[in-house]
């Protein structure tokens, strides 16, 4: 279904949030000189806690409710005040080499000593300071973690590589590194939480929004496979994911079925980010039209805010892509096809825990066909995942953003009733 949202509405969203939910800084994370090669990376170092910074305390549940309401999130499940921390920890880059990353940990100021854990993986941000652990108050990106913690869970929200306090650039939609960063953030959280007089239990409830929906499925699969000896998967609840870029998201982007500006930003992002990861082209003018071919890669360095990226890109995909760029995305071959195969494989497994896929009606950024294909793939593996229709939620004129708010409210209730 074609989007009914105008570019002007999206521009207002970006100015209001200072976060682009359709775009991120790109490329593989920078590795410091002398870092160990992939085959010599020290597995035992993964998840090691480097530093902790207390970000904020909302001492009373009334304080949390007020903060969530100000961020336009549902505060009806708040039971406790919360403490929020930034953790910096060791993980690995897309090549398996050691690197640091950061994330947000939010703990309830009440409840039992042993906490159930929710891992929330966030949607795309364009500016490194828009990552969850950079937020000192409840905002669009940090409010889900605050919601889960205030309901009694330990909420773990990785920034991913190259965002927050992590060095280098962020390799967007690189599910393998999203998975390792998420798993290692869980390990770092488990190492820190005893300092607060609490402990993390074995069970992890996994959720995520947009980009984070694929990351959530990647983490869930790793947990079920036993990639960590302590943590075990309890349930999975991704929201508004782009689970099938090749067959669902890319056709919708290229054919005008989604918001035009969103399509520009996603397409530009995919080509630039994955070129740095997989070398898809030799020169940007092969795939991008002038004048954007000379500026677009520099825009995606993590230091540009959402409004800056919005202003520096065209309003239509026809003004962005060369005929060769269109052909590359419409009929992927070679390295691009291989990379899409990895990104699009997040639903191709058989979860042995409850699974719900959350989706908004006529999402203008993540084509609903993504969720349909994920459900069908899971069903082919013998898993009948429920699809939860969030209706037509709105956040600053966007159904996609609205699904993060509505999905958080729905998922926290489901997680709370699993026991």
Q: What is the CATH number of the domain that holds 369?
A: 3.40.50.1820
SS (H, E, C) the chain: CCCCCCHHHHHHHHHHHCCCCCCCCCCCCCCCCCCCCHHHCCHHHCCCEEEEEEEEEECCHHHHHHHHHHCCCCCCCCCCCEEEEEEEEEEECCCCCEEEEEEEEEEECCCCCEEEEEEEECCCCCCHHHCHHHCCCCCCCCHHHHHHHHCCCEEEEECCCCCCCCCCCCCCCCHHHHHHHHHHHHHHHHHHHHHHCCEEEEEEEEEEECHHHHHHHHHHHHHHCCCCCCCEEEEEEEECCCCCHHHHHHHHHHCCCCCHHHHHHHHHHHHHHHHHHHCCCCCHHHCECCCHHHCHHHHCCCCCCHHHHHHCCCCCHHHCECHHHHHHHHCCCHHHHHHHHHHCCCCCCCCCCCEEEEECCCCCCCCCHHHHHHHHHHHHCCCCCEEEECCCCCECCEHHHHHHHHHHHHHHHHHHCCC
Residue 14, pLDDT score:
39
Question: Do 227 and 273 have their domain in common?
Answer: no
Is residue 267 a part of any domain in this protein?
yes
Q: Is 2 among the domain residues?
A: no
Pair 239, 365 in one domain:
yes
What CATH number is given to the structural domain containing 262?
Answer: 1.10.260.160
Q: Structural domain of residue 45, as residue ranges?
A: 31-244+350-416
Same domain, 307 and 163: no
Choosing from 341, 364, 384, the residue where a domain stops is 341
pLDDT range class, residue 44, cuts 50, 70, 90: confident
Checking if the pLDDT of 163 tops 50, the result is yes
Q: What is the mean pLDDT of the chain?
A: 90
176 shares a domain with 46: yes
**CB distance 201 to 170 below 8 Å:** no
Residues 337 and 377 in one domain: no
Predicted pLDDT at 43: 61
Together in a domain, 179 and 220:
yes
Is the pLDDT assigned to residue 25 strictly greater than 60?
no
Do 319 and 201 fall within a single domain?
no
| Residue 1 within a domain | no
Which among 341, 358, 381 is the end of a domain?
Answer: 341
Sheet containing strand 114-121, strands side by side: 49-58, 82-92, 98-108, 154-158, 114-121, 199-209, 232-239, 356-359, 386-389
Distance CA 247, CA 270 (A): 15
Is residue 21 a part of any domain in this protein?
no
Percentage of residues in the chain having pLDDT higher than 90: 85
Tens of pLDDT, residue by residue over 290-330, are 999 999 999 988 899 989 999 999 999 999 999 999 999 99
- State the total domains in the chain: 2
Q: What is the pLDDT of residues 97-129, one digit of tens each?
A: 999 999 999 999 999 999 999 999 999 888 899
If 0-12 CB within 10 Å is exposed, 13-18 middle and 19+ buried, where does residue 173 land?
buried
Q: What are phi and psi of 29, to 5 degrees?
A: -65, 140
Q: Is there a single domain that holds both residue 203 and residue 124?
A: yes
Which residues have CB under 8 Å from 273's CB, separation 6+? 24, 26, 27, 171, 172, 173, 300
| Inside any domain, residue 354 | yes
Residues 392 and 326 in one domain: no
Shared domain for 103 and 233, answered yes or no, is yes
Residue that finishes a domain, picked among 341, 368, 402: 341
Q: What average pLDDT score do residues 329-346 get?
A: 97
Q: What is the pLDDT of residue 403?
A: 98
Name the pTM for this structure: 0.90
CA 277, CA 146: separation in Å to the nearest integer?
Answer: 33
Within-domain flag for 22: no
| Pair 276, 228 in one domain | no
Q: Is 141 domain-assigned?
A: yes
Same domain? For 97 and 37 the reply is: yes
Note whether residue 25 is domain-resident: no
């Amino acid at each position: 279904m074609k989007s009914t949202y105008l570019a002007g509405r999206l521009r207002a969203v970006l100015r209001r949030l200072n976060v682009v939910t359709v775009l991120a800084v790109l490329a593989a994370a920078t590795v410091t000189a002398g870092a160990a090669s992939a085959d010599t990376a020290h597995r035992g170092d993964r998840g090691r806690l480097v530093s902790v910074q207390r970000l904020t305390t909302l001492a009373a549940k009334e304080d949390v409710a007020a903060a969530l309401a100000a961020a336009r999130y549902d505060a009806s499940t708040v039971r406790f005040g919360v403490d929020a921390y930034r953790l910096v920890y060791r993980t690995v880059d897309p090549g398996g080499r050691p690197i640091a990353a950061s994330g947000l940990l939010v703990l309830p100021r009440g409840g039992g000593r042993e906490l159930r854990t929710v891992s929330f993986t966030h949607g795309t941000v364009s500016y490194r300071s828009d990552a969850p652990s950079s937020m000192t108050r409840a905002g669009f990106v940090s409010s889900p973690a605050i919601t889960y913690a205030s309901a009694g869970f330990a909420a773990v929200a990785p920034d991913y590589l190259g965002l927050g306090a992590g060095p280098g650039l962020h390799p967007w939609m690189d599910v393998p590194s999203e998975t390792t960063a998420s798993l290692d953030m869980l390990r770092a959280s488990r190492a820190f939480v005893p300092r607060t007089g609490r402990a993390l239990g074995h069970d992890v409830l996994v959720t995520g929004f947009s980009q984070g929906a694929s990351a959530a499925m990647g983490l869930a699969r790793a947990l079920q496979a036993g990639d960590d000896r302590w943590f075990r998967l309890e349930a999975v609840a991704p929201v508004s994911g782009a689970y099938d870029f090749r067959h669902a998201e890319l056709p919708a982007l290229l054919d005008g079925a989604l918001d035009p500006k969103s399509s520009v930003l996603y397409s530009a992002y995919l080509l630039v980010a994955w070129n740095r990861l997989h070398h898809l082209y030799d020169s940007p003018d092969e795939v991008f039209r002038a004048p954007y071919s000379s500026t677009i890669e520099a825009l995606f360095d993590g230091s540009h805010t959402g409004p800056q990226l919005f202003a520096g890109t065209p309003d239509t995909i026809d003004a962005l892509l060369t005929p060769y760029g269109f052909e590359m995305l419409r009929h992927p071959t070679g390295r691009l096809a291989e990379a899409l195969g990895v990104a699009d494989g997040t639903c191709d497994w058989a979860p042995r825990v409850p699974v719900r896929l959350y989706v908004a009606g006529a999402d203008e950024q993540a084509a609903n066909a993504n969720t349909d294909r994920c459900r069908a793939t899971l069903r082919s593996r013998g898993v009948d995942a429920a699809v939860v229709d969030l209706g037509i939620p709105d956040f600053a004129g966007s159904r996609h953003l609205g699904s993060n708010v509505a999905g958080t409210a729905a998922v926290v209730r489901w997680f709370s009733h699993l026991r």
